[in-house]
Amino acid sequence: MRMTKLGRFGAGVAFSLALLAGASPVWAEVFTVAVVSDTQNYSDVTLPQPRGAQTFEQQMRYLVDTRQEKNTAFVTFVGDIVQHGDGQFRRARAGAEGQYDRFDTREEWDIANRAISILGGSGLPFGMVPGNHDYDNYSWWPEGGPGASKPLAGGRAWSFYFGPQSRHFADKTWYGGASPNGLNSFQTFTGGGKRFLHLSLEMEPPQSALDWAQGVLDAHPGLPVIVTTHEWLQPGKTERSNGQASYFPGSDHLTPDQVWDRFVRKNPMIFMVLCGHNYTSAVEGVSNGQNLRIDRNDAGQPVYQVIQDYQGNTVGPDGKAGTANGGAGWLRFMAFDTDARKIRFYTYSTLLDRHAGRNGEATFGVAPNLSEFELDFPPQLTK
């Protein structure tokens, strides 16, 4: 998580005969890829519970219950699954200078694990990446006083709950494998008669992670590729979010700009990068965490880069700020229409039972065109 201070497309399945450019005839359809943005406030044990845990579980049940209706092919998590990744942290006692209460936040991992088990038990393919809050030392406070340890490091808790040997991924046919440190992985899924490759990359991946990812791409030539990583874009700004110095000082981790230059732009089958992490300061419980950037890769093809982070939104069902844990049940959906050759993006809250950006509504305090919009199929999908 990083906060920046800036103040219809229902998907159902349509079956009709169509011819994709350069491909043999297939049964056209609408299939969906869902994006679960930063869930840390749902699992945070210092925020109202079980309110947050219930929202997290509600989201997962919705994904499972609407699987057939939306023809959901894949689900990706953009990271920050929990708030305090090291499993314990200290907070100053009110009015007691130099005194701290210690909290055991293994319960946060258990909250997340229980929710994600709903999805895992459904058979739906999904991928997960760690965010800054998910590292072993994110909230470790040394005896001298509060302050996160830097650079971020360690994935013991992550690997135990969500690593390649966890029950969520072990022996799953759609789970391809993980990097040696267990923080990067890949999955495959099928939509519209086409096989896709999904790369889950750790936050600001080092060159070793990119080398591993390149090996995965080389072993799957011709497959269109979606990349999910935690930090990539900012809301309300055109540049990428390059927070390497804030989270990984002195390490070999790379900024998003470096990852673009060294890896994404050089691989023509990568057509999309998804992320979370950044959001704007909330005003009366409303925050913006959406943006879109399109760049051309070295082959001249567009790469859609999309951020969705709803953690700053706390407006609950009663319409009041602070009555929902940050995130308020918002999910992002991408409906791939193989007949119209469009990707339709829409945003829905399971908690509020409403869509963002409908009828010109500025749901997140900004123009609705980043809550609900469509993009043309890139060339990578029509080969």
pLDDT digits (tens, 9 = 90+) for 239-249: 999 877 889 98
pLDDT band at 98 (very low <50, low <70, confident <90, very high): low
pLDDT at 319: 96
User: Binning pLDDT at 50, 70 and 90, where does residue 80 land?
Assistant: very high
pLDDT at 103 over 80: no
pLDDT of the residue at 15: 30
pLDDT at 379: 96
Mean pLDDT of 140-166: 79
Higher model confidence: residue 119 or residue 7?
A: 119
Q: How many CA atoms lie within 13 A of 265 on its CB side?
A: 13
Helix (H) or strand (E) holding 58: helix 51-65
Angle at 37 between CA 34 and CA 40, to 5 degrees: 140
Among the listed residues 89, 36, 18, 95, the one whose alpha carbon sits nearest the alpha carbon of residue 350: 36
Domains and CATH numbers, the chain: 2-6+31-331 (3.60.21.40)
Query: What is the mean pLDDT of the segment spanning 26-39?
Result: 88
- Provide the percentage of residues in the chain whose pLDDT is more than 90: 76
- pLDDT (0 to 100) of residue 139: 73
Distance, CA of 266 to CA of 40 (rounded, Å): 33
Q: What pLDDT is attached to residue 382? A: 87
- Give the chain's mean pLDDT: 89
**Residues 290-333: pLDDT tens digits?**
999 999 999 999 999 999 999 999 999 999 999 999 999 999 99
Residues 39, 112 contacting (CB under 8 angstroms): yes
CA dist 34 and 201 (Å) reads: 17
Average pLDDT over residues 75-81: 98
Instruction: Name the amino acid, one letter, at 381.
Output: L
The band of 17, judged by pLDDT with boundaries at 50, 70 and 90, is: very low
Instruction: For 204-215, write each residue's pLDDT tens digit.
Output: 999 999 999 999
pLDDT(12) > 90 = no
Per-residue pLDDT of 117-149, as tens digits, reads 999 999 999 999 999 999 988 876 555 544 557
- CA–CA separation, 121 vs 115, rounded Å? 10
Residue type at 136 in one-letter notation: D
Interval 244-271 mean pLDDT? 94
- pLDDT of 193 reads 93
165-206 pLDDT, tens digit per residue, is 999 999 999 999 999 999 999 999 999 999 999 999 999 999
Q: What is the pLDDT of residue 273?
A: 98
